[in-house]
């Protein structure tokens, strides 16, 4: 999903994506080494990053900084163009912020894995080659622009002109004022749900290992069994947790694919369906699972995990031999 | 001039109309299964039994240039099975042909 969006919004990324594919495995390996190595790695790679940012690098990396920023920037340019031409009709204007909103939504919904980080790095590297000082400036700007600032510049873009405000702009403004007045409000402010990416390594040719499975279960506050059931039902395979608490799945899977399934799991079984807060408890009640939200107090039933129809993929002769 | 209030109005007209153009009820589960190597299978479970699945599979095979079959399952009824990863194809095709609405499709797998 994320990839599709990328290709839509940022055609220039295509090239990098190809490049990323080749290096993706090394990155994962680096990640697997542990966070200190990770941090140092980052500093090596991005010398242009200001030093103040290094200490909280780990957290930052998991957020979708680079990607989001890129999009935001693009949006700015468009809007600046619009403000430059005040006679421009609102034909494309309403669609534009809406699009942006949608992007925001989807990004907050699915938590951000390090995939986004990789892309960012790649961009940095390429930029290095082109213009280093410019990049530095951009990085600083990015840091400064964190959070609400982009909204402010949005307002400025239509503040001066005397054209009519679109509904989306006004809506955005109202929400922004609400955030400013009470920052601890949950429903409006979209909370980032930061978690470590799944470490997926292939074992041999037929099996895949999901190394930090229990860790992810802990961060999601879910029973490993429940997540295991979901993963296996969704992937349509079999698997088990081995001695060093890693999950072994039959079949070839890549990190991206596991991420997708995890996203779906979080959407269905972790985030509250009403307020989308991840602060929920999953409890079983008369054979049904209920999701109780700690933030808004809502309680709703969630879909049961069913693997559904499973086609015969193995050797039929072997199955017949087993049953008789 | 006619008085509007005296017109006969059937309050259930919508309900009746809604019922007969909506044969498909319940979710259509579209799953993918890995086979040996890079090969995959796509299964489509939950299509309404009022549809002629054999005709559907015949059309799908032609459309996606893959092989496929209908499997009788005691619990899940008739299940479509297509060779290869046809998840996107089948989603588009089902919505385009009006057999199922997009919100009735549930795609599983990675």
Summarised one tens digit per residue, pLDDT across range A167-207 is: 888 888 888 888 787 766 655 445 566 788 888 999 988 89
Q: Render the burial of A239-263: b for 16+ CB within 10 Å, e for the rest.
A: bebeeeebbebbbbbebbbbbbbbb
Cβ pairs bridging A and B (under 8 Å): 51
Domain assignment present for residue A293? The answer is yes
Gap between the Cα atoms of B64 and A238, Å rounded: 29
Domain assignment present for residue A218? The answer is yes
- Between the alpha carbon of residue A263 and those of residues A283, A318, B24, the distances in Å are 20, 36, 28
Domain assignment present for residue A118? The answer is no
Domain assignment present for residue A183? The answer is no
Gap between the Cα atoms of A304 and A288, Å rounded: 7
Domains of chain B: residue spans and CATH: 25-106 (3.30.780.10)
Q: What pLDDT sits at residue A42?
A: 43
Q: Is A308 on the interface with B (CB under 8 A)?
A: yes
Q: Is A237 on the interface with B (CB under 8 A)?
A: yes
Domain range enclosing A267: 200-302
Q: Which residue of B has its CA nearest to A260?
A: B110
> What is the CATH number for A281?
3.30.30.170
- What ipTM did this prediction achieve? 0.77
For the residues A244-255, what does the mean pLDDT come to? 89
- pLDDT beyond 50 at A73: no
For residue A210, give every residue at least 6 positions away whose Cβ sits within 8 Å of its Cβ, in sequence order, or none: A198, A199, A200, A231, A246, A247, A248, A249, A258
Q: What pLDDT sits at residue A245?
A: 84
Give the pTM. 0.55
Residues of B in contact with A233 (CB under 8 A): 108
Q: Which of A3, A40, A70, A61 lies closest to A195, judged by CA?
A: A61
Distance from CA of B46 to the nearest CA of A (A): 10
**Do B73 and A261 count as a contact with CB atoms less than 8 A apart?**
no
Q: What pLDDT sits at residue A72?
A: 44
* DSSP annotation string for A125-138: HHHHHH-HHHHHHH
A242 or A133: which carries more pLDDT confidence? A242
Mean pLDDT, chain A, as a whole number?
Answer: 65
**Do B31 and A261 count as a contact with CB atoms less than 8 A apart?**
no
Residues of B in contact with A257 (CB under 8 A): 110
Domain count, chain A: 1
What are A122-146's pLDDT values in tens digits? Answer: 444 544 444 455 555 545 555 544 4
Domain assignment present for residue A36? The answer is no
Distance from CA of A260 to the nearest CA of B (A): 6
Mean pLDDT, chain B, as a whole number?
Answer: 83
Question: SS3 of A290, please?
Answer: strand
Residue of A236, A237, A251, A264 to mutate, testing the B interface (most B Cβ within 10 Å of its Cβ): A236
Question: SS3 of A234, please?
Answer: helix
Gap between the Cα atoms of A251 and B81, Å rounded: 19
**Do B41 and A313 count as a contact with CB atoms less than 8 A apart?**
yes
**Do B110 and A252 count as a contact with CB atoms less than 8 A apart?**
no
Give me the percent of chain A exceeding a pLDDT of 90. 5
**Do A308 and B76 count as a contact with CB atoms less than 8 A apart?**
yes
Q: What pLDDT sits at residue B69?
A: 92
């Amino acid at each position: 999903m994320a990839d599709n969006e990328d290709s839509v919004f940022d055609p220039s990324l295509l090239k990098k994506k190809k490049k990323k594919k080749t290096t993706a495995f090394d990155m994962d390996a680096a990640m697997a080494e542990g966070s200190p190595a990770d941090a140092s790695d980052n500093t090596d790679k991005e010398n242009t990053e200001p030093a103040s940012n290094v200490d909280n690098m780990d957290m930052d990396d998991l957020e979708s900084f680079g990607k989001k920023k890129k999009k935001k920037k693009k949006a700015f340019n468009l809007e600046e163009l619009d403000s430059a031409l005040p006679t421009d009709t609102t034909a494309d204007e309403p669609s534009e912020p809406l699009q942006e909103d949608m992007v925001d939504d989807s990004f907050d919904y699915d938590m951000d894995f390090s995939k986004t980080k990789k892309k960012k790095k790649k961009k940095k590297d390429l930029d290095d080659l082109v213009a280093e000082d410019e990049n530095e400036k951009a990085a600083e700007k990015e840091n400064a622009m964190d959070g609400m600032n982009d909204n402010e510049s949005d307002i400025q873009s239509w503040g001066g002109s005397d054209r009519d405000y679109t509904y989306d702009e006004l809506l955005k403004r109202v929400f922004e004022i609400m955030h400013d007045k009470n920052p601890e409000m949950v429903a409006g402010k979209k909370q980032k749900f930061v978690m470590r990416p799944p470490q997926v390594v292939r074992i041999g040719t037929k099996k895949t290992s999901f190394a930090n499975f229990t860790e992810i279960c802990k961060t999601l506050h879910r029973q490993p069994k429940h997540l295991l059931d979901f993963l296996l039902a969704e992937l349509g395979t079999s698997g088990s947790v081995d001695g060093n608490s890693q999950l072994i799945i039959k079949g070839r899977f890549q990190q991206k694919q596991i991420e997708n399934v995890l996203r779906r799991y979080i959407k269905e079984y972790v985030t509250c369906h009403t307020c989308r807060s991840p602060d929920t408890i999953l409890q079983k009640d008369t054979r049904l699972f209920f999701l109780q939200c700690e933030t808004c107090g809502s309680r709703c039933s969630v879909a049961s995990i069913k693997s559904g129809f499973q086609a015969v993929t193995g050797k039929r002769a072997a199955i017949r031999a087993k049953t008789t | 001039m006619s008085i509007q209030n005296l017109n006969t109005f059937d309050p259930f007209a919508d309900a009746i109309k809604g019922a007969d153009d909506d044969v498909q009820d319940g979710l259509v589960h579209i799953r993918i299964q890995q086979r040996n190597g890079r090969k995959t299978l796509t299964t489509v479970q939950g299509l309404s039994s009022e549809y002629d699945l054999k005709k559907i599979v015949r059309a799908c095979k032609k459309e996606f240039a893959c092989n496929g079959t209908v499997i009788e399952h005691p619990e899940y009824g008739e299940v479509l099975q297509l060779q290869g990863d046809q998840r996107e194809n089948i989603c588009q095709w089902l919505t385009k042909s009006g057999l199922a609405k997009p919100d009735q499709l549930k795609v599983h797998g990675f």
